[in-house]
Amino acid sequence: MPVTHYKVGTFPQPGTREEKDVPLSNPHHPDAGGVRVTARGEIDLSTADDLQHEIEAAIASTASAVTVDLAEVTFLDSAGINALLKGRRLADEHHKPYHVTNAQGMVRQLLRLTGVWDHLSRPAGG
Amino acid sequence: MSSDTSHAGSEEKLRRLQAVTDAALSQLGLEDLLDELLERTRDLLQADTAAILLVDANGEELVATAASGLEQEVRQGVRLPVGRGFAGSVAARGEPLMIEHVDRTNVVNPILITRGVASVLGVPMLNGSQVIGVLHVGTLTPRRFTSDDVDLLRLVADRASLATQARLSRLDRAAAVALQRSLLPARPRTVPGLDVAARYVPGTAVGVGGDWYDLFPLPSGHVGVAIGDVAGNGLRAAVVMGRIRSALRAYALESDEPADVLTRLDRKVQLFEPGAMATALYAVLDPTLRSLTIASAGHLPPLVAEPGEGTRLVPVEPDLPLGAYPGAPRHSTRTELAPGGCLFLYTDGLIERRTRPLDVGIDLLLRSLTCQPADTMCSTAMGTLLGEEEATDDVAVLAVRRTDGAV
């Protein structure tokens, strides 16, 4: 079964596979001031809503900027792209810098082929 | 009466179990099934009333759906707030609830009061952990329901939940399929000088989705060719697809410039379909059929195949998907289509797999397709890319071949 984990924190914690028992890092780390949403595994119709909620929560938080890290995402479909694009809109409405980073392999390829990569990876907004 | 039920022997328990799990019930339509279940439940529990209320689409209210001994609840279309009163509390907490002495302080449904119901027992109807409704029974004389009563009522609720869920998803699926069929003719309309074919296959994992294709002659002599994919699946995606498809046709009547058509369409989606997102590719063939102008809203690039030439990817730089961002800039790309040449459009379901990069899928398509009769191209693409495996996402393809022979 594909499993997708999300966590919200200032720093990604590579190698950590659990979601529930990982305490959330302080989202208001003084060095970064931003919050990082780390997505893992396959993001599709069944998991995209979870990612969207995490992104929405991060944008609604007091963090000064939001980064969505896709380093550990192995598959993304149109529902996943949808969630990332909605994040961009919402962040702009909140005047909060937002960008998507670290897309690898086929995930990056899909984001390029659908013309959304520049739009999502540009640390614009605010 | 309570001693009757609490001391039911194992034979009696078995009889009850059979009464509500009776396979013959499956033969009934949903309304009859629920009515019959409620009748049997009343009988088994020696209750005077039994009713099923289902949570509405936005999860805020319970709607009386079936009743026995309390028919006016359904006739009057009773709606009760989730979270308040007796049934509302069962729905909100997802747990059984018993009220031995019903009065205006503990129920909000006036029908229970006027009917003279003294005691009630309610259990949630569950789909996984989600509460989809409430089943309750009542007696006109005060009664303390037992844990056996709760168990039996839970069993009935499970049966009713299963039937309701199956029916609702069947209805949803049937409506989505009907809509998709009505909007996607198996054979698009004929246009002089063009041989056109298409395929649509619902995904095994998602059922009918929001993919569509379209081809239409315009009064200006141009021919519009479109393909798109509304994110999401089921009835909702199919309905949004229907609206986007017809809006595209309307804007196509006003402009022969694809980027312009997609700009207008995007503005419409942003305003009237909040939250919706779709990729779309819109191409316009000029009246001579020689020149093709294409704009892409986040859609995968089309293929052009020409007799004696190889098959190539048209380098259409995609702009943002429809609904992605207000005021996104859009542009068109122009390419030539030689006499006898072929154009092939597809949705991501054709090539996207969890196990292989997109470019490998596109490459496979490029190598397998040559300029052939449109129907052959569709068959070849579906055969090569889907082969033995079923499509998990829905798939749409559209092939167009110039048959005008003009040189």
**Chain B residues inside the 8 Å CB shell of A4:** none
Mean pLDDT in residue range B325-350:
95
Residue B63 backbone phi and psi in degrees, to 5:
-115, 125
The DSSP code for B159 is H
Are A110 and B233 in contact (CB < 8 Å)? Answer: no
Those residues whose C-beta lies under 8 Å from the C-beta of residue B378, and which sit 6 or more positions away, are B197, B198, B199, B397, B398, B399
Distance from CA of A30 to the nearest CA of B (A): 31
- Whether residue B27 is predicted with pLDDT greater than 90 in this model: the reply is no
- Of B231, B319, B352, nearest to A115 by CB-CB distance is B319
pLDDT band at B78 (very low <50, low <70, confident <90, very high): confident
Mean pLDDT in residue range B143-168:
89
- Whether residue B262 is predicted with pLDDT greater than 80 in this model: the reply is yes
Q: What angle (nearest 5°) sits at the alpha carbon of residue A113, between those of residues A112 and A118? A: 30
For B198-238, write each residue's pLDDT tens digit.
999 887 766 778 899 999 999 999 999 999 999 887 888 88
Distance from CA of A45 to the nearest CA of B (A): 7
Residues 383-402 of B with CB under 8 A from A: 393
Which of B42, B48, B44, B40 is CA-nearest to residue B12?
A: B44
- Of A81, A85, A113, nearest to B325 by CB-CB distance is A85
Q: What is the reported pLDDT for B8?
A: 54
Strands B333-336 and B291-297: antiparallel
Q: Where are the beta strands (DSSP E) in B162-208?
A: 194-201
Average pLDDT, chain B: 88
Are B352 and A110 in contact (CB < 8 Å)? Answer: yes
Q: Give the pTM.
A: 0.72
Residues 349-368 of B with CB under 8 A from A: 352, 354, 356-359
| Residue bearing the bigger pLDDT, B392 or B275 | B275
Query: How far is B303 from A9, CA to CA, in rounded Å?
Result: 43
Q: What is the reported pLDDT for B21?
A: 72
Q: Provide, rounded to the nearest whole percent, the portion of chain B with pLDDT above 70.
A: 94
Q: How far is CA B276 from the centre of its chain?
A: 14
Strands A34-43 and A65-76: parallel
| Residue bearing the bigger pLDDT, B200 or B262 | B262
**Chain A residues inside the 8 Å CB shell of B206:** 45
**Chain A residues inside the 8 Å CB shell of B301:** 113
Q: How many separate helices (H) and strands (E) can be counted in chain B?
A: 11, 16
Q: What is the reported pLDDT for B388?
A: 66
Which of B354, B357, B352 is CA-nearest to residue B386?
A: B352
What are the C-alpha distances in Å from B266 to residues A89, B236, B250, B322, B392?
A: 15, 18, 13, 5, 28
Query: How far is A22 from A8, CA to CA, in rounded Å?
Result: 10
B150 vs A: CB within 8 A:
no
What are the C-alpha distances in Å from B45 to residues B16, B39, B48, B144, B232?
A: 9, 10, 9, 12, 44
Per the DSSP assignment, residues forming a β-bridge with A3 are: none
Look up residue B287 and give its two tokens. 């009246």
Q: What is the reported pLDDT for A23?
A: 31
Q: What is the reported pLDDT for B130?
A: 86
pLDDT tens, residue order, chain A (126 aa): 333 344 433 333 333 333 322 233 333 343 357 899 999 999 988 888 899 999 999 999 988 899 999 999 999 988 899 999 999 999 999 999 999 999 999 899 999 999 999 999 987 655
| Residue B178 parent element (H or E) | helix B147-183
Per the DSSP assignment, residues forming a β-bridge with B228 are: B212, B280
Which of B292, B245, B265, B249 is CA-nearest to residue B401?
A: B292
Q: Return the CA Rg of chain B.
A: 29
Q: What is the reported pLDDT for B252?
A: 97
Strands B97-99 and B79-81: unpaired
Are A81 and B319 in contact (CB < 8 Å)? Answer: no
Q: How many CB atoms lie within 10 A of CB B381?
A: 23
Which of A19, A21, A62, A20 is CA-nearest to residue A38?
A: A19
Using CB atoms within 10 A of its CB, is residue B276 exposed (0-12), middle (13-18) or buried (19+)? buried
Residue with tokens 């003279």: B116
Tallying the residues shown for chain A, one arrives at: 126
Does the predicted interface ipTM exceed a cut of 0.90?
Answer: no
Those residues whose C-beta lies under 8 Å from the C-beta of residue B42, and which sit 6 or more positions away, are B48, B49, B50, B68, B69, B137
B332 close to A124: Cβ distance less than 8 angstroms: no
Q: What is the reported pLDDT for B206?
A: 64
Residues 244-283 of B with CB under 8 A from A: 275, 277, 279
The DSSP string of A49-69 is HHHHHHHHHHHHSS-SEEEEE
Mean pLDDT in residue range B182-199:
86
Which of B315, B311, B321, B381 is CA-nearest to residue B343?
A: B311
